[in-house]
Amino acid sequence: MSDQQESVLSEAYKLLKSGDIEKASTILKEGLVYNLEDEELIFALHCCNFWIDCIRRMENLKDSYEKGESLLLEWKSFQLVIKREKKTFELALYAIKTGVFTLALECYKEIEEPKQSSQKGIVLRKLGLCCKELGEFDLAKTYLMQANEVSPGSALILAELADCYALCGEERQSKVLFREAFFLDAASIDLSFLDSELIRCLIQKVQEKKYTGAVLLEWIPVYGQLFGVFNVKRKLRPQEVGKLRQEIYAKENEMKDPSCDSKLITPRLINLYFWIIDYYVLAENENSRINDILIRIKILDSEIYNLYVK
């Protein structure tokens, strides 16, 4: 790479990181005049073109929350576009990501503090998400813990917080929270913004089994247990045990209906079985109940049973 090309890219990346994508695009176009075959310049310009259109559409929105949501939604679309590229450049992607999430963070910060706790929890989660994507993990944890305080029991918040702990190297706390999140409501978790190696490796392994969409989300905690990722557990409170038994009963009845969606119910029910077994193990002297649950798992899915008991 020539000094001139390096200078063009350096200046463009600084502008991208600050969110000034149109100006970065102009500089890249000027640099491309001197070298029409530079792959990194072409790639960076391709990224700029995608985001210039997105930001122009976003500027037509009046509400700061809608603007932030627009950027996050476009980021997910951008990830799909990038996956189709034969060759990518990390410096360009890092600069774009920094710029996009900096703009999104600014949008969410402009929002007046909501009066309702549920809305406040959503905004705090978005602030935490943006900080996490920008590598500001301590600040992200602060926002996400505040979100969890005002909206307790949100699987989405717990998953983001777990991801943050994993990125900080606090693996034990991360495992506890991921396990909790996928137990509470796997269907609500957005995998697009989970970045830690801990969860990405697990997601990839489950995807290799050809699961997608909502079914993929329900199988993640099952294989998380089998692969030793969700192996840090806590003691259940009596009222939680009661709810767990009720849900198992409800899901077993659902499975008896010929028209049920067994592809979704099966992994959910297996995960419930895993939780009740863990409770019985900690309670001690519950071998007969454990054996009964194991038989149910074997009937439901013999392959999972074999992996679990081996």
pLDDT digits (tens, 9 = 90+) for 7-66: 899 999 999 999 999 999 999 999 888 777 889 999 999 999 999 999 999 988 989 999
Of 5 and 211, the structure prediction assigns the larger pLDDT to 211
Q: What single-letter amino acid sits at 147? A: A
Question: Token pair of 202, please?
Answer: 């697990």
Indicate the residue type of 133.
E
Taking the CA atoms of residue 39, residue 13, residue 168 and residue 229 in that order, the dihedral angle to the nearest 10 degrees is -30
Largest CA distance in the chain: 77
pLDDT of residue 61: 92
Could you tell me how far CA 186 lies from the centroid of its own chain? Answer: 11
Question: Which one of 3.20.20.70, 3.40.50.800, 3.90.226.10, 1.25.40.10 gives the CATH number of domain 117-224?
Answer: 1.25.40.10
Determine if the pTM surpasses 0.85: yes
| pLDDT tens column, 124-148 | 999 999 999 999 999 999 999 999 9
Q: Per-domain residue ranges for the chain? A: 3-109, 117-224, 238-309
Residues 6+ away with beta carbon under 8 Å from 138:
168
- Distance of alpha carbon 116 from alpha carbon 75, whole angstroms: 28
> Rounded to whole angstroms, how far apart are CA atoms 5 and 244?
61
pLDDT tens sequence across 56-97 = 999 889 899 999 999 999 999 999 999 999 999 999 999 999
Any idea which residue has 């979704």 for tokens? 264
How far apart are the C-alpha atoms of 42 and 87, rounded to whole Å? 11
112: exposed, middle or buried (Cβ count in 10 Å: 0-12, 13-18, 19+): exposed
Round the CA-based radius of gyration of the chain to a whole number and report it: 23
